[in-house]
Amino acid sequence: MKALVFDRFGGTEVLDYREIPDPVVTGGHVIVSMKAIGLNFADIYRRKGNYHLQGTPPFILGYEGAGVVEQVGPGVDGLRAGDRVAFADVPHANAEKVLVPADRVIPLPDDISFEQASSVLLQGLTAHYLVHDSYRVKPGDEIVVHAAAGGVGQLLTQLCKAKGARVFGLTSSEDKKKVALAAGADEVMLYHEDWTGAVPGWSKDGEGADAAYDSVGSTLMDSFSVVRTRGAVVFYGMSGGDPAPVDPRMLMDTSKTLTGGDLWNHVTTKEERIRRADALFAEIREGRLRLSDPALYELRQGAEAHLFLESRQSTGKILLLP
């Protein structure tokens, strides 16, 4: 089979599209013939060597995708060849065929395309636990969403709106501001503007937002400054650098809450993955979750796709097609 691989860490020049042996089906696994593969920043970090990789070269990137079951290994129940499936956390996805543990398989409804599944699962499951678990969004809540034009940010905005909340989005450019507004944000400002001064005035009583979802990290203390007394800040990413230390006395004095979020603490079982994925598919089906058109690259164009993602010009999902 063909795969996008690399033998050493580095820039996009280390990526190579070449023939490697097919995976061999084993007990408790299936082999999936891939139709669409999601590209994520984690793939860039792994290519550069920032994330630890097990095993020996050639390394294969990719953790998210969708396709058709080709072979079923011993001990697997409920799956058969020809089934449409997807996954969000299986390594070596940047290949024509992937060995997938059966408990990581997410059945794909007929009305959800391979491209939709590969666009929504990793980022959508993140947005889902953020609004249902980290801070449970309620009708009438006022929410600040950082990086509102990003993949998670757009989905997070839409899920908050679907729950009856108002959303104040933050982005880094005028073009991204338009994307965030199109996703449903009620108000959007740029990071270089005085958004910390604007959020309290935007809130219904002038006291600040009920919660802020912060994926930037370096803005954490600013997020605290714009949520009301007894408000909450959810910290789930560091795209802008490490956050400053938080003084617990500030939390005590303001009765504000800081919570962290990581997807893999919320999808620990097969049932949990399927339940949350089905909820996302239902939101798409009902029109409450709209996915922007992904940028499509052939798998052999992986280096170009990585460059595009690193440029931070993308506002939607980037997919690799075998």
- Chain mean position to CA 57: 27
Answer positive or negative: Cα dihedral of 84, 90, 95, 99: negative
Evaluate if residue 212 carries a pLDDT over 80.
yes
| Residues sharing a CB contact under 8 Å with residue 207, sequence separation 6 or more, in sequence order | 200, 228, 229
| Residues sharing a CB contact under 8 Å with residue 66, sequence separation 6 or more, in sequence order | 34, 35, 36, 84, 85, 86, 87, 108, 114, 115, 117, 118
pLDDT band (50, 70, 90) for residue 234: very high
Evaluate if residue 126 carries a pLDDT over 80.
yes
Residue 270 has a pLDDT of: 95
Among 248-252, 291-295, 308-312, which range has the highest average pLDDT?
248-252
| Residues sharing a CB contact under 8 Å with residue 286, sequence separation 6 or more, in sequence order | none
Radius of gyration of the chain (CA): 20
CATH number of the domain located at residue range(s) 2-120+268-321 in this protein: 3.90.180.10
Q: Going by CATH, does the domain composed of 139-260 fall within 3.40.50.720?
A: yes
Residue 179 has a pLDDT of: 94
Residue 312 has a pLDDT of: 73
- Give the percent of the chain with pLDDT over 70: 100
The mean predicted confidence, pLDDT, of the chain is: 95
**Tens-place pLDDT, residues 78-100:** 999 999 999 999 999 999 999 99
Boundaries of every domain in the chain:
2-120+268-321, 139-260
Q: Provide mean pLDDT across the span 62-73.
A: 97
How many angstroms separate the CA atoms of 99 and 227, rounded? 45
How many angstroms separate the CA atoms of 104 and 29, rounded? 9
**Tens-place pLDDT, residues 9-52:** 999 999 999 999 999 999 999 999 999 999 998 899 899 987 77
In degrees rounded to 5, what are phi and psi of residue 36? Answer: -155, 145
How many angstroms separate the CA atoms of 53 and 67, rounded? 24
How many angstroms separate the CA atoms of 313 and 303, rounded? 16
**Tens-place pLDDT, residues 259-290:** 999 999 999 999 999 999 999 999 999 999 99
**Tens-place pLDDT, residues 285-295:** 999 999 988 99
pLDDT band (50, 70, 90) for residue 74: very high
Among 184-198, 199-213, 305-319, the range scoring the smallest mean pLDDT is 305-319
**Tens-place pLDDT, residues 151-160:** 899 999 999 9
pLDDT band (50, 70, 90) for residue 53: confident
pLDDT band (50, 70, 90) for residue 224: very high
Evaluate if residue 311 carries a pLDDT over 90.
no
Evaluate if residue 315 carries a pLDDT over 80.
no
How many angstroms separate the CA atoms of 114 and 85, rounded? 8
How many angstroms separate the CA atoms of 95 and 23, rounded? 10
How many angstroms separate the CA atoms of 192 and 125, rounded? 30
Residue 239 has a pLDDT of: 83
Evaluate if residue 59 carries a pLDDT over 90.
yes
Same fold, 2-120+268-321 and 139-260: no
Residue 313 has a pLDDT of: 73
Q: Provide mean pLDDT across the span 94-107.
A: 98
Name the residue with tokens 């050493």: 8
DSSP one-letter code for 133: I
